[in-house]
Structure 1
Amino acid sequence: MTTATHDATVLEQYDSRAQAYLASAVHASGADLERMAAVIGSRPHAVALDMGCGGGHVAFRMAGLVGKVVAYDLSAAMLETVAAEARKRGLDNIVTKRGAAEALPCPSGSFDVVATRYSAHHWGAFTDGLAQMRRVVKPDGLALFMDVVSPGVPLLDTWLQSLELLRDPSHVRNGTLAEWKAALASLGFAVGEVATYKLRLDFGAWIERMQTPDVHVAAIRSLQRRASAEVKDYFALEDDGSFTIDSALIVARPV
């Protein structure tokens, strides 16, 4: 699949769902978001990047900490939603810019802080997106990476990726923590703090947010019913299909 083809799939999935992601409780809050804010602290003169901003929750949280935030996303509809919400909240230091993660149209060393949350598993070229973040962060800058992570065990990994893809065909892959660390190190980041979390997904809200077709919902529920005890236990699978996954926050700095 070409990058352009994958980007078209992403847009097909997300252009019509901007309001759902703005309203999503999973995206609007979380211990990782609060930890991100604590790590950044007050930087009134800093310029920050929210890479793959989606509904804008990272940008909104950073806006009160830094001087300027660039909310960057492939979807124009997402960016329009973020801009409208920023105006509503009186956050006049958020600007939006459209493009793919792998082709960030900003000069090198543009940002004091770069962050991404729940976006990288959609990138057609994972390391290329991370490389762009490394390129645009200042030598003394800060980088934060937040995403769902794979348990790494082949059985559990296959189960997680399958459900993600059935729900959303723009899903590429949830990497393991080891893969994240290796990729960041290879691109010139020194990994510091790593915090891990358990994220419960309410099945109804999870499906509704993506407007998953009924045939795919049925397939997900079929897989869940036939899952092994090991899978059901690890993901804390509930009778209604709700389940719990791993997520992580990685703090890194350029070297």
Structure 2
Amino acid sequence: MVRAVNDARFWDRAARKYAAGPVADMAGYERTLERTRAYLDGSATAFEFGCGTGTTALRLAPFVARIVATDISGSMIAIARERAAEGNHANAVFEIGTPDAAPWPDESFDVALGFNVLHLVAAREAALGGVHRLLKPGGLFISKTPCLKEMNLAMRLAVPVMQFLGKAPHVASFSAAELERAIVAAGFEIVERGQHASRGRDARPFFVARRR
């Protein structure tokens, strides 16, 4: 609980700078959006966790009936709401929350989204369980996640140093294979695996998983 509160404070402090920063690999990001849109239709209800300042939710909002996007940071959510209002995205709702503590009834959504967030979740098993609960049977969980064990040694060594200095939140270290096993153990079957980076080594596997 203390870790979650500290992480929320970290992202609250970082929100405005995060919102102003560019996407590191725009071509890879666009590829992820393209593959995600292939699984959406205009009647679907979608849930996103770790939505940050709402960029992805707002890009995908035109392709679903409704999207509910959450984050642990109130400052991130405030920016996302500003953006939604500016863009007149009436079908996009932004709330503070996490999958394991979401107030919505079981089987509320057709699709769940989690991009660049599972490595930041300390209680990953609980989060995946929450996603499973919120999805309808046969619903899809679509994610792309940085896997620290797949990254170069310099990055793996830098993260704990940055955390010690207060420059980074909680970051879990796992491989793509370990992440896939965790998703399957939470009650999903993998229906697509992908690598979308446009340059360099891709340490952010893209998964589409169906709720069993």
TM-score, with structure 1 as normaliser: 0.73
CA distance in 2, matches of 1:113, 1:177: 22
CA deviations 1:41-97 (Å, max 9, x no partner) are 351121111111112122112101101111101111111100001111121111111
Residue of structure 2 equivalent to 1:231: none
Taking structure 1 as reference, are residues 169 and 39 closer, same or farther at Cα in structure 2, changes over 3 Å only?
Answer: closer
Q: Which amino acid aligns with 2:209?
A: A
The alignment status of 1:150 with 2:148, answered yes or no, reads: yes
Equivalenced residue count is 207
Deviation of 1:129 after TM superposition, in Å, equals 0.8
Higher mean displacement: 44-53 or 25-34: 25-34
Residue of structure 1 equivalent to 2:32: 35
Residue of structure 2 equivalent to 1:92: 90
1:198-237, aligned counterparts within 5 Å?
198=197
The alignment status of 1:185 with 2:142, answered yes or no, reads: no
Residue of structure 1 equivalent to 2:171: 172
CA distance in 2, matches of 1:166, 1:54: 24
The alignment status of 1:252 with 2:209, answered yes or no, reads: yes
CA distance in 2, matches of 1:251, 1:186: 15
TM-score, with structure 2 as normaliser: 0.86
Residue of structure 2 equivalent to 1:205: none
Flag the structure with higher strand content.
1
Root mean square deviation of aligned Cα: 2.4
Alignment counterpart, residue 130 of structure 2, candidates 126, 132, 154 = 132
Taking structure 1 as reference, are residues 66 and 174 closer, same or farther at Cα in structure 2, changes over 3 Å only?
Answer: farther
Alignment counterpart, residue 5 of structure 1, candidates 2, 10, 18 = 2
CA distance in 1, matches of 2:85, 2:24: 19
Deviation of 1:152 after TM superposition, in Å, equals 4.9
Identity of aligned residues (%): 25
Taking structure 1 as reference, are residues 120 and 27 closer, same or farther at Cα in structure 2, changes over 3 Å only?
Answer: farther
Deviation of 1:27 after TM superposition, in Å, equals 6.6
Alignment counterpart, residue 83 of structure 1, candidates 71, 81, 93 = 81
Taking structure 1 as reference, are residues 133 and 196 closer, same or farther at Cα in structure 2, changes over 3 Å only?
Answer: same
Residue of structure 2 equivalent to 1:211: none
Task: List gaps (5 residues or longer) in structure 1.
Answer: 201-235, 237-243
The alignment status of 1:109 with 2:111, answered yes or no, reads: no
* Contact 1:114/1:137 (8 A) holds in 2: yes
CA distance in 2, matches of 1:32, 1:180: 20
Deviation of 1:245 after TM superposition, in Å, equals 6.0
Taking structure 1 as reference, are residues 33 and 71 closer, same or farther at Cα in structure 2, changes over 3 Å only?
Answer: farther
Taking structure 1 as reference, are residues 94 and 29 closer, same or farther at Cα in structure 2, changes over 3 Å only?
Answer: farther
